[in-house]
Structure 1
Amino acid sequence: KKKKRQDDFQKVKLKVGKKKPRADNATNTNFRTKGIYLPEQLKTDTSGPITNRQLGINDLLSQLHHYNANVKHGALLGLRELLLVNPSLLEQHLSRLLSEVAAVFTDKDANVRVAA
């Protein structure tokens, strides 16, 4: 029993010109990755009316949170265009429109405030 225990801790003798033997508990770190392609996510939402720039109301409302003032200004102009053509959208999205546009009233950029 003592001999068996000593064999576990013996150093492996290396031979000249031979590769070092792999450890018994070596971890295989080779792996491959594969991209996930979901074509449904790339489709644009064509369920509702869109602007000349092919943006729906949800896209325009999300652009109001953008850091760039020009993007916010464009989104406000797009919302105005969309609501003039389709006044029924105002009734459907009134609460969200008010909360999103009210947040832009205090923007740093003067053009964005005027457009709001």
Structure 2
Amino acid sequence: MRRTHSLTVLVGMVLLVLLLTGCGTSKKQLEQQVTSSFQEKMNTDPAYNGYGLTVHSVTLVSSGGNNYDGIANLLYKSRAYDVPITVTSDGKTLIWQTKPGAFLFLLQ
């Protein structure tokens, strides 16, 4: 009887953890996905691929629902630049975009 109770408690705790963490994409995973997607864009888009931009990191903060505001930290000529971004993600697909004027540092 005691063993059955312990197993029931264990299963209940596992279910609780799954419910609390959810089945969707975590913020950390989303940040990694945006970092990868952003770097791919910098490597393949003719407007940016000649600059040798490296996406160092992406930090996101929820702005409600599936929307996030954030900063992409880019390295250019051994200097770090913060580029404001917005992200929308439904857990399967994500869309990110930069704010107007985000790449003005390339003109310096």
TM over 0.5: no
Category of TM-score, reference length = shorter chain: under 0.3
- Select the structure that is richer in strand: 2
TM-score (norm 2): 0.23
Larger Rg computed on CA atoms: 1
Higher relative contact order (CA 8 A, sep 6+): 1
TM-score (norm 1): 0.22
- Select the structure that is richer in helix: 1
